[in-house]
A and B are shown apart, each in its own frame.
Chain A
């Protein structure tokens, strides 16, 4: 559950028709963004609905850094006004369509950043971004052996030798 910080109206720019949101990152940076841009995030949309219900203005405190948040905002800005099937809650789940070219460039970041973006996207409920990040991570580990996967993504092997080599774990689990 996110924390919503009540703020003084004067601290929120865009009073009136411009519909701006104040997002506060975990490093305490205040980022003002148009509500329209962040409407791709179901989480933000729900928060905004809550604001309207209570007629109170709030800043939304988010548990990731401004650097990550800015990346997410960049993504949302790029697809502002676009319909993406993955983000449509009423649409059928999309198939394995080819990754969008812009997404490929956008996600050409180091693995730590990629993981932070996917966590942020998951937190903000931006399905299309989660899907693109997931595909990028899957591409990193595809065809790799178990050891290589552990090494690439820094996962600790917590299996006992018996568990790791037990016949049941090979196929039927």
Chain B
């Protein structure tokens, strides 16, 4: 028996006026006998009878979605896949034809389709997505369709000139012909609707963008600018727009100095996203640029800088953004000096990190290992906050390998040089970094407020001797400071033996001395006799020997004695 809901789903009608609710199905049937007798339970779902506005909204998303398995569904297909909705039924066709939004993304498969879309979407602004290069298969279609679309520059809201995977395939020209054609049109026509300009050219860099665009008029609507592989004059009107997104990559002759760059960026106070990749001015020294004012970006949510450490160092002196913003620094080594990366970190953190709250700074591809004369790269993610914050060091070995101790040295280099540890409360060290002895030294020096340590990694035989020695120092410090959380975890469960017992012993003693603490230690590892002696000495003579050892400690001692 159909329910009222099924009925309404079928008919799409509202409840008739005067209805006051029905206590049961019988009462409803009495009121509307005709409706229920005509109901067919197996009738297909009623999408065809969705309100026109709803169906139109559904259709409006289709042109913006690439077809499954295709990155470029708009240019090379005749007709475009999304146009299939016009062939489903009369209702769908009517809705699709009457929806201006549906035709806003111009299909460039043929001039006929482009013309149709231009007419049906009128007077709405349109979206043009085209390859930046002329493809040999579509050279007779797409470029002419694009030319037709570009004749309506005044209606273009988004212009995407993308590198497609086929772009290098056939023309042999190598130049972004479509992009050049587009910029020619933009040069002589005003584009009052243009909000997004995306131009990508990965084949040949330095293709010039005309210095005069939009027939000399100001692009008031332009909000997002993405350019890759073009040459943009710093005086371009594009850079004087009230942009919220600026992403530039491999663009030549952008700006000569950092002071110049700062002056240009200062014209975009509303930036929410800033990405400058391989466009930073040359940096021949480590001297901070003398900018009149640091450029403030109060609304910025994401910043990405790519260049060599000196370039990033200088760029970071020019800009300032909120502590909530994501910061991604991607370093490209220039091979001139060692330890530039640590210098970079110092610089960045000195100027910005102290004010970050609940923020994550990500240094990608940081070739600190090369700086130190060792293979490998380092990724440092720092998270800092009030007492609940933590700092995470991730040390990833390079594919070429490298000794764990060397990675530890890299971590030391970072830890011992970064002043942020003055406000460090929790430290989380992953992978091989903890295997080195010296981070603990560094912490002793630099982390007066340390409250907890989290170590996740793999202890490797041969380096624990050094670690044991430093464990004494570490625990002395932790105990002195009253650390309430120590978390050692080890992945090799089968090696959980002596050292874990030592840790538990330490936990027991600390609990007795300072009250309840949250300590989780599950470290297991190989251990050498020299290390055991060190540890024994540590627990016998160290700073926390004023309580009887736990049963684990007794077990350890008996095993140790029998082993000897």
Which residues of A are in contact with B by a Cβ distance under 8 Å? 1-3, 5, 24, 26-28, 61, 63-65, 68, 96, 111-112, 115-116, 118-119, 122-123, 130-131, 134-135, 137-139, 141-146, 149-150, 153-159, 164, 169-173
Known A-B contacts A1-B17, A26-B4, A65-B3; A134 and B87 likewise in contact (beta carbons under 8 Å): no
In the complex, the answer to whether B116 meets A63 with C-beta atoms within 8 Å is no
With A141-B85, A169-B87, A171-B110 known, 15 other A-B pairs at CB within 8 A are A5-B20, A61-B21, A65-B5, A68-B5, A96-B64, A119-B51, A119-B54, A131-B57, A138-B58, A138-B61, A142-B62, A146-B84, A150-B88, A159-B90, A172-B116
Please tell me if B399 contacts chain A, counting CB pairs below 8 Å.
no
In the complex, the answer to whether B5 meets A27 with C-beta atoms within 8 Å is yes
Whole-angstrom distance between the alpha carbons of A154 and B21 in the complex? 31
Taking CB atoms, residues of chain A closer than 8 Å to B17 are 1, 3
One digit per residue, 1 when the CB lies within 8 angstroms of any chain A CB and 0 when it does not, for chain B 179-209 equals 0000000000000000000000000000000
Question: Closest residue to B23 on the A side, CB-wise?
Answer: A28
Taking CB atoms, residues of chain B closer than 8 Å to A119 are 9, 12, 50-51, 54
Q: Could you list some 10 contacts between A and B, CB below 8 A?
A: A61-B20, A116-B5, A118-B54, A119-B50, A122-B50, A135-B61, A142-B81, A154-B44, A155-B44, A171-B112
Taking CB atoms, residues of chain B closer than 8 Å to A118 are 50, 54
Whole-angstrom distance between the alpha carbons of A5 and B51 in the complex? 25
In the complex, the answer to whether B21 meets A28 with C-beta atoms within 8 Å is yes
In the complex, the answer to whether A149 meets B84 with C-beta atoms within 8 Å is yes
In the complex, the answer to whether B8 meets A155 with C-beta atoms within 8 Å is no
Whole-angstrom distance between the alpha carbons of A139 and B67 in the complex? 10
Taking CB atoms, residues of chain A closer than 8 Å to B44 are 153-156
B205 to chain A, nearest CB (A): 29
Known A-B contacts A28-B23, A130-B57; A139 and B65 likewise in contact (beta carbons under 8 Å): yes
Known A-B contacts A26-B15, A142-B82, A143-B73; A115 and B88 likewise in contact (beta carbons under 8 Å): no
Known A-B contacts A119-B9, A119-B50; A63 and B15 likewise in contact (beta carbons under 8 Å): yes
Whole-angstrom distance between the alpha carbons of A169 and B86 in the complex? 8
In the complex, the answer to whether A156 meets B12 with C-beta atoms within 8 Å is no
Please tell me if B123 contacts chain A, counting CB pairs below 8 Å.
no
Known A-B contacts A3-B19, A149-B88; A27 and B3 likewise in contact (beta carbons under 8 Å): yes
Known A-B contacts A26-B4, A111-B45; A122 and B51 likewise in contact (beta carbons under 8 Å): yes
One digit per residue, 1 when the CB lies within 8 angstroms of any chain A CB and 0 when it does not, for chain B 1-15 equals 001110011001111
Taking CB atoms, residues of chain A closer than 8 Å to B46 are 115, 154
In the complex, the answer to whether A142 meets B23 with C-beta atoms within 8 Å is no
Q: Which residue of B9, B16, B57 contacts A115 across the interface (Cβ within 8 Å)?
A: B9
In the complex, the answer to whether B85 meets A143 with C-beta atoms within 8 Å is no
A93 to chain B, nearest CB (A): 9
Known A-B contacts A26-B5, A63-B14; A115 and B59 likewise in contact (beta carbons under 8 Å): no
Taking CB atoms, residues of chain A closer than 8 Å to B19 are 3, 61
Taking CB atoms, residues of chain B closer than 8 Å to A156 are 44, 48, 89
In the complex, the answer to whether B5 meets A144 with C-beta atoms within 8 Å is no
Taking CB atoms, residues of chain B closer than 8 Å to A96 are 61, 64
In the complex, the answer to whether B88 meets A157 with C-beta atoms within 8 Å is yes
In the complex, the answer to whether A169 meets B93 with C-beta atoms within 8 Å is yes
In the complex, the answer to whether B93 meets A173 with C-beta atoms within 8 Å is yes
Please tell me if B79 contacts chain A, counting CB pairs below 8 Å.
yes
Known A-B contacts A26-B8, A164-B87; A143 and B22 likewise in contact (beta carbons under 8 Å): no
In the complex, the answer to whether A122 meets B54 with C-beta atoms within 8 Å is yes
Question: Closest residue to B27 on the A side, CB-wise?
Answer: A28
Taking CB atoms, residues of chain A closer than 8 Å to B160 are none
Please tell me if B70 contacts chain A, counting CB pairs below 8 Å.
yes
